[in-house]
Amino acid sequence: MREITVGQFVSLDGVVEAPEKWHMPYVDQEMMSAMWSEPADTLLLGRVTYESFAGAFAHLPDDDPVGAQMNRPEKVVVSRSLSSLAWRNSRLLPAGDVATRVAELKSEPGGPITVTGSTTLVRTLLSAGLVDRLSMFVHPLVVGAGTRLFPEEGPQLRLTLARCDVLTSGVTHHMYTVG
């Protein structure tokens, strides 16, 4: 059975929305190394994240370090509105109940699955018990407003801290197992 890891950039007050507005000053080689320490075989993305990533990464050459990491894996996209995908190595998750379809994806042959961004999708997967690990890059700032990963009325989750690394930038990388 394939494992699903959710990777998120999060502010100290729990905001995950629009990290492009607050995350970039913390990006350095140390963070990049931590982000790519466990490469994914498959990226599972919601429509909004897919469209953002495709616009940013699809045209990067394979010899670009970020391009190599983003273009190599298969991209599986959850969307009710898209009918085709232009970013190479991408496919739509078949229509139907998202939790059921993702459980089927987990049972397919292949390596690790990573979900990044895609807050609505992540919440659905957490509620369905389909997430195996949370990889959280907690930034030392308070954003103040924005969507938080864990909704106020969300399910209770039992997490076990597997690892916590403090980066030179002050960002902490927490790896949790779920369940």
Write out pLDDT tens, residues 112-137.
999 999 999 999 999 999 999 999 99
Mean pLDDT of the chain: 92
Tell me: the pLDDT tens digits for 31-74? 988 988 877 899 999 999 999 999 999 999 888 888 888 898 99
**CATH class belonging to 4-178:** alpha beta
Q: Is the pLDDT of residue 76 over 80?
A: yes
Predicted structure pTM score: 0.92
Q: Do 177 and 132 contact (CB within 8 A), yes or no?
A: yes
% of the chain at pLDDT higher than 90:
76
Q: How far apart are CA 153 and CA 167, in angstroms?
A: 32
The rounded distance, in Å, linking the Cα atoms of 19 and 11 is 9
| Domains of the chain, residue spans | 4-178
Angle between helices 98-107 and 119-127 (to 10 degrees): 80
Q: What is the pLDDT of residue 95?
A: 82
Residue in 126, 98, 112 with CA at minimum distance from that of residue 37 = 112
**Other residues' Cβ atoms within 10 Å of the Cβ of residue 137:** 22
Per-residue b or e along 13-51, where b marks 16 or more CB atoms closer than 10 Å to that residue's CB: eebbbebeebbeebeeeebeebbeeeebebbbbbbebbb
**Contact predicate 14/143, CB 8 Å:** no
